[in-house]
Structure 1
Amino acid sequence: MTMVKKLPQRNEVPEELTWDLTTIFKDEADFEKAFEVAQENLGLIDQQAHELNDGHQLLKAIQMLLEVGRQVEKLAVYAQLKNDQDTHDNDSQVQNDRAEALLTSFAEKTAWFEPAVLLIDTDKLDQFYQQVPELEHYRRFLDVIMAKKAHVLSPEVEGVLASASDIFEASAKTFGILDNTDLSFPIVKNDAGQDVQLSQGVYSVLLESADVKVRREAFTKLYSVYEQFQHTLASTLAATVKTHNLSANLRHYDSALDAALAENEIPTAVFTTLIDEVNNHLDLLHRYVELRKQILGVTDLHMYDLYTPLMKTKSPKITYDQAQKLSLAALEVMGPDYVNAVQKEFDGRWIDVIENQYKRSGGYSSGMYDTNPFILLNWQDNLDNLYTLIHETGHSMHSFYSHQAQPYQYGDYSIFVAEIASTTNENILTDYLLKKFADDEEMTKFVLNYYLDGFKGTVFRQTQFAEFESLIHEADANRVPLTADFMNQEYLKLNQKYYGPAVISDPEIRLEWSRIPHFYYDFYVYQYATGFAAATTLAEKIQASDQGRIDYLSFLQAGSSDQPINVMKRAGVDMTQAEYLKDAFKIFEQRLDQLEKLIKG
C-alpha cells in the first residue's frame, strides 16, 4: 500500500525552521498589555481637538497619530503572522480579528486629520514651521497631504463621496464574489488522466502540463464559463471604469490615469514611456514566442502553450540549506554589510520555512518599523523556491535598511518601488547562476528559461494589461460604450499585436480581460513592469561598479523621505525616460540570443 505523506502539524515543525515571534511580543500576556495601551490611546485621540489653529496643535496631533498608529500596526503584524502560521488555530483567528478591528477603529478615529490639514492656508503653514521648528521633521509628511489640496472638494461634497464609497466599490466587489465564489467550473482531466474540478489555481497548474490535450481542455473549458457571463462581467468592469473617470473629473485631474498615478506621486510620463518602449521592442517577444514554438516542436503554437516548461527534465533539486548558500554567494556583490544583514535573517529565525498543516500558502515578506522583517515560505526543493527566497529577502532588506535609516514617518516605501528591491535580487541571482554553472548546459537552460519567462510575464504581459486598461478608460471618457463585444475585439487585437504571428490568438483569449482582477485596481499593473525593468538595470549597475552598489544601498535607505521618482534618480534610474527600459531589453535580447544558441546547438 502506498503511504500518503502528510504535512506536519505546527507543533511538529523544528523550531529552527520557524520564525521567532517572541521578538515582537514575548508572550500573549505581553500582547494583551500592549493591546490595552493602544485601546486607551485611541480614546485619547477622541479627545484631540479636531482644529489645527497653531503649530503646537499640529505637532501634537501628528505625534499622537503616528505613535498610536505605530502601536496598532505592531499588534496587527503580530496577529497576522501568528494566524498565517496556523490558520486553523481558533485563538489566533480571534486575535487577528481583534487586531483588524483595532486598525479599523484607528482609521475611523483619525479620519478627521487629513481634511483638517488641508484647511490650513499655505502661508499659515509656513508660519507654523517658523513657530515650531520641530515641525520640520514632518515637512515631507505634510507636503504629501498638501499636494492633494487642489483636488479636494468642499466638505459637503467630500462627505457625500465618502458615504457613497461602498456604492462606488460595488462593481469590483460583485466581480470578486462572482469570480471567486459563484462561477461554477467544469471537470477536466489532469496529467494522470484523473478527473479534477477546474479552478483558477488548478488552471494555472494544468497550463504547465507537458500534455497538450490537458492544456487545451483546461483553456477551452475555463473560457467557456467566462463566455457565458461576458456581458455581466463587461457591466461590472465598465462600472468600475466609469467610477474612476467620474472621480478624476470631479477632482479636476486631466484623466483617470493622472489621478491614479498622483496617489503615488508618479508623473504620467512613466506610464506612457513604458507603453511606447514595450511596443518598440515587441519584436523580441515575437522572437521568444517563435523559439518556444521550435522547442516544443509544434506546428501551431497556441495561447495555452505559453506556460508549459520548455525543458524536458525536472527542475534541479535545491535544498533550503543550499539555497541559503547560493543566495549569500550571489549577494556578495552588495557588500559585506548587506550580506551580514542577510546572514542575520537566516540565523535569527526571521523566516518560517516549511509547509505545515493549515499554514497560509505562498510566500511574502512582512514586519513593521519596530520589528525585524519576517518571511513566510512553503519550501520545496527546486529552482523556483530559491528565487522566492532571494526575492523575499530583497523585500526584507529594503525594509531593514529603510527602518534603520529613517524615522518612523518615513520608514515605509512607496508601492511604486516595492517590487524593485526584490526583483533586483532575482536579477543578481540570475547573473550569478549563469556564471557559476556556465559549463552546465542544462542548468544554464533552466536559468535562462526562468529569466525569459519572468520577463515575458512581467514586462510584456503586464504592459499589455496596462495598455488595455488605458484603452478602456479613454474609450469611456470619449463616450464609447464598454460592451463585451467592444472589449473582446479590442483585447484580441492587442493580444495579436503583442504575441505576433508565431502564436495563434485563439478566439477564447479575447475573453481574458473578463477574468483579470487587476483591471479593478485603478492603474496598478504597470508598476510590475516598470519595477522589473528598473531592477534589471539596477542589477547591472551594482555589478559594474562600487558606485552602483553605493547608490543602490542609498535607495534602500531612502524609505519615503522623498518622491519615489527622485529616489530612483539618485539610484541611477530616471523612470520618466526610456533609457532604463532600453537597457532592460538589451539584457533580455542577450539572454534570448544565448538560449537560441544552446537550443540550436
Structure 2
Amino acid sequence: MSHCRPYSGTFTGEAGPSGRIPPRSEIPQEYTWNLEAVFPSADEWEESFLLLGGEMERLGGYCGRLFESPETLLEFLKLEEAASERLGKLYAYAVMKSHEDTADAARQARADRAGTLLAAYGAALSFYRPEVLAAGQEKVNGAIEGCSALGKYRHHFDDLLRTAGHVLGLQEEEILARSGEIARTPENAFSLLTNADLTFPVILDEAGRETELSEERYYLLSRSKDRRVRKDAFEGLFTTYGKYRNTLAALYSGSVKSDLFYSRARKYPSALEASLHGDNISPSVYSMVVDTVNRNLDALHGYMALRKKALGLEELRMYDLNVPLADEPETRILYGKAVEMVTDGLAPLGAEYLDVLKKGFSSRWIDVFENQGKRKGAYSWGSYGTHPYMLLNYNGTLRDVFTIAHEAGHSLHTWFSHAGQPQVYADYTIFLAEVASTTNEALLLESLLEKAPKEEKIFLLNHYLDQVRTTVYRQTMFAEFERETHSLAEKGEALTAELLCALWKELNERYHGPEMVLDDALSVEWARIPHFYSAFYVYKYVTGFAAAGCLSSNILRGGEEERRRYIRFLSRGSSAYSLDILREAGVDMTSPVPLEQTLRSFREKTALLEELLEQGS
C-alpha cells in the first residue's frame, strides 16, 4: 500500500483542486469507484451476510468427515470456495464503503461487523488444516487419485503438508494458539507507547512558527530546505526516543524472545528459518541479499558524497538525506494528463495489458480525489469475483502520477491473477506483492526521463536514487539488524539498550560510509521501527525491488516473448512457489544477479545526476 499527499481543496473539474475540501456529493461520479458493482445496495449486502452464516454452519458439518470419500472432500472445497468468495465481497465492500467517509457511523459499524465475520469464518474452518495434516500425504494422494477434479488442488495440499514436521499435537497446538495474545504484548505496548504516550517537543518551522513535532510531521520537516529545521526535528525526535531506550529495548527483546519461543516449539533450527518457511524460501536467499548489498556499499558511499557536494555541506548528517536535490515541478498535472502519462509509460507491456489498464481507467475502478472524511493515502483492493479497485487522493503532483502507476500495477496483477487461476490460487504471495507495482514505476520512470527537461530530470533521478537508498540499502540494513539480534538472542545474549544502540551505530557507519557524520542521537533509531515486530519481513522489499528492476529491463530490451512471460507471471497467482514463478518470468532471486543489476543502475543514475548537477554549477 503506497501513500500520496492528499489535495487540500474542492473539486473544480479538470482544472484541479482549490479552496475547501469538498463533500463527496460534489465529486463527479466518473471520478468515484463503482462499489454498486459488488452490492447494488446495503440491503443486498445484509442479505448476503445472512446467507454466509448458513454456509458457515454447513462447512462446520464437515469437521471430522473430510476424508470419508474423495467426493466429500471435493464437496467441502467447492462450498468453501463459494463461501470464501462471498466473504471477500462482504468484507471488501464494507471496508471500502467506510473509506468513502470515515466519519459515517453506519458505514464504520458495517465494517466492524465484516471484521467480526472474518474472524468467525476463520474459527469455523479451524479444523481444516489439522485434519488434512492428520490425514497425511498418502491419504491425500489417494483422494486425488480417486477424484480427478481434486487434481487442481495438488499444489495446495503439497504446500500445506510441507509444514507437517512443524505442527504439534492437538493439545500443544491449542496451547500455542492461546499464547498468541500474550506474544503480541510487546508489539501492542510498542504501538501504544510510540503512538499514544510519547510526546515530542515543539520546534520552530521555516517561518519561525511553533510546530509540535510528531512522527507524522517528521518526514515533511526532514525535507525542509532550512537545515536548522531539519536538525531540530531530528534531535527532537531521536532525543525523545532516547529517553525511553531501556523500555523500548525490553519490548523489542520480548518480541525477539517470542520469535525464538515459537521457532523452537515448532522444531525449526532458527527463528529466521521459521519465518521463511511459509514462503518456502531458503535462508541462503536472505543471506544473498545482505551479502550482495554489503559488497556494493561503495555505491551508496558515492551517493552520499554527491549529496554532500550538491547541498554544499562541510559535513553530511543523517538529517540531510531526505531534502530533495531538486524541487518537484510546480505545474499541476491534470488527472486526465496523468492517466495519459501512465498509459504511455506502460506501453512496453503490450496491447493485452493496456486494454485492461484502459478499462480500469474508464470503468470506475478508481476513487480519484479527496473528499471530506475520505481515508488518506492510496491502495489497491478488491476480492475474487470482483474487478480490482484503487483508492487515490490525487493532488496533481508528479509523485501522484507514480502512485497511479504503482497502484495500477497491484490492480492489474490482481486482475490477471484472478482471471488466470481458480480461487484456491488466485491471490499472489506477499513475497511477490510489490513486484508488479514497482515494475510499473520503473517503466514510467524511464518513459519520463526520455522526455523530461533538465530540472525535471534531476528531480526524477533524485527520486529514483532515494528509492534505492531507502528500499534496497536501508531495508537490507534493517534485515541485517534483525538477523544479528535474533542470532545473539539464540546464543543467550541479552538485548540491552546499550547493545542495540552499539549495533545500530556500527551498521549505519558501515552502510553510509566515510562522508556521513553520525550524531549520537541516531543510535536509538532502531527503537522507532515498527517492522521489527514482524521479524524478517523487510527483506521482501529488497527482493521485490530487484525483481521489478530486472523485469522492467527485460521488457524494455525485449519483445513479444518478454511481454508474454510477464503476463504469464501476473497470471500465476500462488499456483506455484514464489521463487519458481519469478524464475519462469526470467528472474532468479536465489542468484545475486537481479540485485547486482539494480545496484549497477543505481551507480549509473548517480553518475548521470552528478553530470547534470555539474552542468548547472
Fold conserved between structures, TM > 0.5: yes
SS in 1 for 2:19: coil
1:93 to 87, 108, 117: 108
Match of 1:183 among 191, 194, 198: 198
Give the corresponding residue for 1:478: 491
Structure 1: distance between partners of 2:180 and 2:427: 26
Residue in structure 1 matching 2:134, options 106, 110, 119? 119
Q: Which residue of 2 aligns with 1:408?
A: 423
Corresponding residue number in structure 2 for 1:27: 41
Pairwise CA distance, 1:48: 2.5
**Which amino acid in 2 is paired with 1:131?**
G
Cα distance change of structure 1 residues 315 and 459 upon mapping to structure 2, 3 Å threshold: farther
Q: Where does residue 71 of structure 1 map in the other structure?
A: 86
In structure 1, distance between residues paired with 2:170 and 2:384: 34
Structure 2 counterpart of 1:463: 476
Per-residue displacement from partner, 1:355-382 (whole Å, max 9, x unpaired)?
A: 1111111100000111111111111111
SS in 2 for 1:365: strand
The answer to whether structure 1 residue 301 and structure 2 residue 316 are counterparts is yes
Q: Secondary structure at the match of 2:390?
A: strand
Residue 231 (str. 1) matches residue 246 (str. 2)? yes
From 543, 563, 575, the equivalent of 1:561 is: 575
Report the Cα distance in structure 1 between the residues aligned to 2:564 and 2:529, rounded to whole angstroms: 39
Q: Distance in 2 between matches of 1:108 and 1:313?
A: 49
Q: Matched residues in 2 for 1:390 and 1:154: separation?
A: 47
Could you tell me how far 1:316 is from its partner in structure 2?
A: 4.8
Question: How big is each residue's C-alpha offset from its partner over 1:382-425, in whole Å with a ceiling of 9 and x where there is no partner?
Answer: 11101000000000010010111111111100000000000000
The answer as to 2:209 corresponding to 1:194 is yes
| Contact 2:329–2:456, Cα closer than 8 Å, also in 1 | no
Shift in alpha-carbon separation, 1:137–1:524, aligned structure 2, 3 A? same
Alpha carbons 2:443, 2:552 under 8 Å: kept: yes
Equivalent residue number for residue 595 of structure 2: 581
2: CA distance, partners of 1:518 / 1:508: 20
Aligned-partner residue type, residue 216 of structure 2: G
Partner of 1:252 in structure 2?
Answer: 267
Which residue type is aligned with residue 517 of structure 1?
Answer: P
Aligned counterparts of 1:261 and 1:549: Cα–Cα separation in 2:
30
1:313: Cα distance to partner? 6.3
Structure 2 vs 1, CA of residues 196 and 59 (structure 1 numbering), >3 Å: closer, same or farther? same
Q: Equivalents in 2 of 1:201, 1:278: separation in Å?
A: 29
1:315·1:446 contact (CA, 8 Å) conserved in 2? no
Match of 1:518? Answer: 531
- Corresponding position of 1:593: 607
- What SS is found at the alignment partner of 1:103? helix
Q: Is the 8 A contact 1:399 1:412 kept in 2?
A: yes
- Is the CA contact 1:316–1:383 (under 8 Å) kept in the aligned structure 2? no
- The one-letter amino acid of 1:590's match is E
Query: Which residue type is aligned with residue 21 of structure 1?
Result: L
* Contact persistence 2:186–2:252 (CA under 8 A): yes
User: Per-residue CA shift, 1:228-262, capped at 9, x if unaligned?
Assistant: 11111101110111111121112121211111011
Question: Does 1:507 pair with 2:514?
Answer: no
Q: CA deviation at 1:558?
A: 0.4
**1:322 maps onto 2:337 in alignment:** yes
Contact 1:257–1:470 (Cα < 8 Å) also in 2: yes
Is the CA contact (8 Å cut-off) linking 2:136 and 2:161 kept in structure 1?
Answer: no
User: Secondary structure in 2 aligned to 1:119?
Assistant: helix
Q: Which residue does 2:446 correspond to in 1?
A: 431
Are 2:396 and 1:391 equivalent residues in the alignment?
no
Aligned residues: 597
Please say if residues 302 and 505 of structure 1, whose CA atoms lie closer than 8 Å, have aligned partners that are also in contact: yes
Q: Kindly provide the amino acid, as one letter, of the partner of residue 24 in structure 1.
A: V
| 8 Å CA contact retained: 2:328, 2:456 | no
Distance 1:348 1:514 in 2: 45
- Contact 2:62-2:76 within 8 A present in 1 as well: yes
> Among 41, 47, 66, which residue is 1:52 paired with?
66
1:332 alignment partner, one of 321, 325, 347: 347
Matches within 5 A, 1:251-400: 251-312=266-327, 314-400=329-415
* Equivalence for 1:453: 466
Q: CA deviation at 1:191?
A: 2.5
Structure 2's unaligned 5+ residue stretches are 1-9, 11-17
Q: Give the distance between the partners of 1:63 and 1:323, measured in 2 at CA.
A: 42
* Alpha-carbon spacing, 1:329–1:314, altered in 2? closer, same or farther (3 Å): closer
Distance 1:61 1:472 in 2: 44
Q: Is the 8 A contact 2:310 2:325 kept in 1?
A: yes
State the one-letter code of the partner of 1:160: I
Give the AA of the match of 1:563: Y
Partner-residue secondary structure (3-state), 1:164: helix
Distance 1:458 1:330 in 2: 22
1:278 offset after TM fit, Å?
A: 0.3
In the aligned structure 1, how far is the partner of 2:310 from the partner of 2:535?
38
Match of 1:528 among 541, 549, 557: 541
What do the CA deviations read for 1:45-70 (whole angstroms, capped 9, x no partner)? 23223343332332222222222122
Specify the code of the residue in structure 2 equivalent to 1:286: H
Aligned to 2:98: 83
Larger RCO (CA under 8 A, 6+ residues apart): 2
1:216 pairs, out of 231, 242, 256, with: 231
Q: Which residue identity does 2:584 align to in structure 1?
A: R
Kindly tell me: are residues 313 and 259 of structure 1, through their superposed partners in 2, closer, same or farther at Cα, counting changes over 3 Å? closer
Is contact 1:24–1:78 with CA below 8 Å preserved after alignment? Answer: yes
Cα distance change on mapping 1:312 and 1:10 into 2, 3 Å? closer
Q: Quick one: which amino acid aligns to residue 351 of structure 1?
A: I
Q: Does 1:419 align with 2:434?
A: yes
Given that 2:381 and 2:388 are in contact with CA atoms closer than 8 Å, whether structure 1 keeps it comes out as: yes
Provide the C-alpha distance between the structure 1 equivalents of 2:148 and 2:329, rounded to a whole number of angstroms.
63
CA deviations on 1:486-535 (whole Å, 9 max, x unpaired) are: 00000100011000011111111111100000000121101011111111
Deviations, residues 261-284 of structure 1 (Å, cap 9, x unaligned)? 111222222211110100011101
Runs of 4 or more above 6 Å deviation: none
1:147 aligns with 2:162: yes
After superposing the two structures, state which structure 1 stretch, 240-249 or 58-67, moved more.
58-67
Deviates further, 317-326 or 398-407:
317-326
Higher alpha-carbon deviation: 184-193 or 341-350: 184-193
Pair 1:313–1:140, CA change in 2 (3 A): closer
User: Using the alignment, how far apart are the partners of 1:413 and 1:429 within structure 2?
Assistant: 23
Percent identity, please: 37
Alignment CA distance shift 1:413-1:351 (3 Å): same
Aligned to 1:137: 152
Report the Cα distance in structure 2 between the residues aligned to 1:468 and 1:126, rounded to whole angstroms: 43
Q: Which amino acid aligns with 1:52?
A: L
Give the superposition deviation at 1:180: 1.1
Whether the 8 Å CA contact 1:489–1:510 is kept in 2: the answer is yes
State whether residues 543 and 549 of structure 1, in contact with CA within 8 Å, keep that contact through their aligned partners in structure 2: no
Quote the Cα distance in structure 2 between the aligned partners of 1:319 and 1:509.
41
Separation of aligned partners in 2, 1:25 and 1:554 = 31
More deviation, 227-236/262-271: 262-271
Please give the per-residue CA displacement for 1:548-597, whole angstroms capped at 9, x wherever unaligned: 22111110000000000000000101101111111111111111111111
| CA-atom RMSD in angstroms | 1.3
Q: Give the whole-Å Cα distance in 2 for the aligned partners of 1:41 and 1:536.
A: 44
Q: Check whether the contact 1:316–1:443 (CA below 8 A) recurs between aligned residues.
A: no
